[in-house]
């Protein structure tokens, strides 16, 4: 990353130029915390923090706080004093060279599902327009840059990136006569922009003292980026004292295979029964449920040790009175958690709503999933009952468009890095003809993607027709104690190993030509043999799965053949003589 602009502007004063350097202070930051899900059960964040103090000609102070850790850098602005302040923009930008390759998410500011586009590979030379966070760049062979933001809550607006058209010969450099401060006449500068309303600028209303969200750049190998939890680490500590009621888990879900099924009490009972049979923790009742039978379903599920999750539209919870009423009802019925849909905005007012919804559900010990939402920005550490968020072009899109293997193989390096992802995987009966992904590819998504609520989207009938898949899905976890990136490249392959207690799972998906995936097993414990169960596509008949078994140690490697756009899952269980 090349030298890039810094600075912030308020309604009263431009704090991007004319600053005098006052001094620097430095301290070491060490932060250890436990998690309920995600990639690992505990995390240690260590960094050197430097605060650079400046002052304007008018005597207004501005601090820039910078943290450097082993996996990257983060910086934010601090405005001292007291009283109201209106932030009109930031100069914050990231400059990359023109030959840099990027994996970017097109962001349509006038479109309600801006985080549900298909990820694209492009170059800085051809990139133009708006892109949502996060953004990934290969700056040279083996070196990667990952840009996002963290610790965004109701004190501020969420943001995205914009880059000028490289073919635009005009200059939009800021001048004394131009109050719209676009600091760039370089098309390879990715500039931070606040959320807006259909192109109309929005400002941030805040109170001093103010610390802005962190602007984050992970730097290093793909392993460094995929295994990082920096977005959660930069969030605020947990606001919940007793977290014993927070429980990640796998969930049955009928809406994907039959959108009218949530209207049927009997159908929902079938999905509860199947969840209980498979050992899954939850069953999600989506749009169409009826309050006449929902309490009975909760009781029916509780008797079978299955928690009920309930879909709610955002407008049921927008105003405080409606929110209190519906959440009280959910709590009284014994619902385990809610899936709230249709927020579809990054505005500061919606960020404030997120805070209110999280506090209200935590008060009632209701877990929550944000659908039709912004990407994770650190809230899951502050509110650990936030189990997952959508903000992804996931399996739901089979009902409306397409989901490509290339897109699937980009997500582990981009969207899933910033937090749990409600992709709703393992859709064997997707409507593509012929299917773009194989059975093994779909099954492997249960391991490759992490979500603290992992909603398996296909029907009971479909899963019953693949007993080898049931064998995997009844043992795979939704919460991992340890995770490792093994091999892959965005858009081509993603192979990850994850541990739950004493068992390990490896999931691998590929996009493109058939290949043999060589898996180094050094992540396994020393001085122990493991029984490996390999569930993969049958190379003779791709309408079926096959199971192979072997015994291995951590000094070995394992070779698995995968067909075009295929995948596989390996389960490692400590060997018993």
**Can you tell me the distance from the alpha carbon of 134 to that of 414, in angstroms, rounded to the nearest whole number?**
6
The pLDDT value recorded for residue 451 is 97
Q: Which domain holds residue 17?
A: 8-233
The pLDDT value recorded for residue 281 is 98
CB 240 within 8 A of CB 102: no
Asked, for residue 303, whether it belongs to a domain, the answer is: no
The token duo for 240 is 């919940």
CB 264 within 8 A of CB 297: no
The pLDDT value recorded for residue 113 is 60
From 341, 346, 452, 458, the catalytic residue: 341
Asked, for residue 433, whether it belongs to a domain, the answer is: no
CB 474 within 8 A of CB 456: no
Asked, for residue 76, whether it belongs to a domain, the answer is: yes
Q: How many domains does the chain have?
A: 1
The token duo for 68 is 């450097």
The pLDDT value recorded for residue 168 is 55
Identify which of 357, 109, 346, 65 has the alpha carbon closest to the alpha carbon of residue 212.
65
User: Which stretches does DSSP call E strand in 371-502?
Assistant: 386-389, 453-456, 482-489, 493-500
CB 104 within 8 A of CB 142: no
Asked, for residue 144, whether it belongs to a domain, the answer is: yes
From 71, 396, 442, 537, the catalytic residue: 396
The pLDDT value recorded for residue 316 is 95
396: annotated active-site residue: yes
Report pLDDT digits (tens) over 15-60. 999 999 999 999 999 999 888 877 888 889 999 999 999 999 999 9
**Can you tell me the distance from the alpha carbon of 308 to that of 225, in angstroms, rounded to the nearest whole number?**
35
Asked, for residue 221, whether it belongs to a domain, the answer is: yes
Report pLDDT digits (tens) over 158-180. 999 999 876 654 444 443 433 34
**Can you tell me the distance from the alpha carbon of 107 to that of 114, in angstroms, rounded to the nearest whole number?**
5
Identify the helix (H) or strand (E) that includes residue 217.
strand 214-220
Asked, for residue 191, whether it belongs to a domain, the answer is: yes
The pLDDT value recorded for residue 378 is 93
Give the single-character DSSP code of 376.
P
**Can you tell me the distance from the alpha carbon of 439 to that of 468, in angstroms, rounded to the nearest whole number?**
11
Asked, for residue 325, whether it belongs to a domain, the answer is: no
CATH number for 188: 2.70.98.10
332: annotated active-site residue: no
The token duo for 394 is 């996931």
Report pLDDT digits (tens) over 475-534. 999 999 999 999 999 999 999 999 999 999 999 999 999 999 999 999 998 878 999 999
The pLDDT value recorded for residue 175 is 39
Residues of the chain with pLDDT under 70: 109-113, 166-187, 198-199
The pLDDT value recorded for residue 377 is 95
The token duo for 216 is 């984050």
The pLDDT value recorded for residue 577 is 72
**Residue 143's beta-bridge partner residues?**
140
Residue 300: phi and psi, rounded to 5, are: -60, -45
The pLDDT value recorded for residue 140 is 80
Asked, for residue 420, whether it belongs to a domain, the answer is: no
């Amino acid at each position: 990353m090349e030298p890039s602009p810094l600075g912030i502007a308020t309604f009263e004063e431009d704090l991007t130029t004319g600053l005098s350097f006052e001094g620097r202070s430095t301290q070491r930051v060490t932060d250890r915390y436990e998690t309920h899900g995600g990639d690992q059960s505990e995390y240690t964040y260590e960094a050197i923090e430097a605060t650079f103090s400046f002052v304007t000609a008018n005597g207004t102070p501005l601090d820039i706080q910078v943290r450097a850790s082993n996996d990257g850098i983060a910086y934010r602005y601090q405005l001292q004093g007291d009283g109201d302040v209106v932030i009109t923009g930031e100069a914050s930008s990231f400059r990359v060279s023109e030959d840099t390759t990027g994996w970017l998410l097109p962001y349509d500011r006038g479109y309600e599902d801006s985080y549900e586009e298909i990820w694209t590979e492009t170059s800085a030379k051809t990139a133009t327009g708006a892109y949502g966070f996060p953004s990934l760049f290969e700056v040279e062979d083996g070196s990667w840059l990952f840009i996002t933001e963290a610790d965004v809550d109701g004190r501020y607006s969420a943001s995205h990136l914009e880059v000028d058209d490289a073919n635009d010969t005009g200059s939009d450099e800021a001048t004394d006569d131009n109050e719209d401060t676009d600091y760039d006449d370089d098309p390879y500068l990715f500039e931070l922009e606040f959320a807006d309303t259909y192109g109309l600028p929005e400002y941030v209303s805040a109170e001093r003292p103010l610390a802005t969200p962190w602007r984050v750049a992970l730097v290093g190998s793909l392993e460094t980026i995929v295994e990082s939890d920096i977005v959660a680490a930069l969030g605020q500590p947990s606001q919940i004292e007793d977290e014993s009621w927070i429980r990640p888990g796998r969930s049955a879900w009928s809406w994907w295979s039959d959108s009218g099924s949530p209207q049927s009490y009997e159908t929902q009972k079938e999905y509860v029964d199947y969840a209980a049979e498979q050992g899954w923790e939850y069953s999600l009742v989506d749009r169409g449920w009826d309050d006449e039978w929902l309490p009975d379903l909760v009781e029916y599920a509780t008797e079978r040790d299955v928690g009920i999750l309930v879909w709610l539209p955002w407008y049921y919870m927008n105003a405080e009175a409606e929110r209190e009423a519906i959440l009280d009802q959910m709590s009284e019925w014994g619902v385990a958690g809610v899936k709230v849909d249709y927020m579809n905005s990054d505005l500061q007012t919606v960020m404030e709503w997120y805070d209110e919804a999280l506090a209200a559900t935590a008060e009632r010990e209701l877990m929550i999933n944000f659908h039709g939402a912004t990407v994770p920005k650190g809230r899951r550490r502050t509110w650990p009952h936030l189990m997952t968020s959508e903000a992804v072009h996931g399996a739901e899109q089979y009902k409306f468009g397409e989901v490509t293997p290339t897109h699937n193989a980009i997500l582990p390096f981009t969207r899933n890095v910033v937090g749990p992802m409600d992709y709703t995987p393992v859709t064997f009966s997707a409507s593509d003809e012929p299917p773009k992904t194989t059975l093994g590819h779909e099954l492997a998504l249960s391991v490759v993607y992490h979500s603290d609520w992992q909603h398996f989207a296909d029907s009971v009938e479909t899963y019953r027709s693949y007993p080898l898949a049931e064998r995997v899905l009844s043992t795979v976890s939704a919460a991992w104690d340890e995770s490792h990136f093994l091999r892959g490249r965005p858009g081509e392959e993603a192979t990850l190993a994850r541990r739950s207690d004493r068992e390990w799972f490896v999931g691998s998906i590929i996009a493109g030509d058939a290949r043999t995936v060589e898996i180094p097993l050094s992540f396994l414990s020393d001085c122990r043999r493991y029984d490996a169960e390999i569930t993969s596509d049958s190379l003779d008949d791709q309408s079926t799965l096959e199971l192979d078994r072997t015994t291995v140690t951590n000094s070995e490697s394992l070779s698995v053949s995968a067909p075009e756009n295929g995948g596989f899952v390996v389960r490692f269980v400590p060997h018993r003589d």
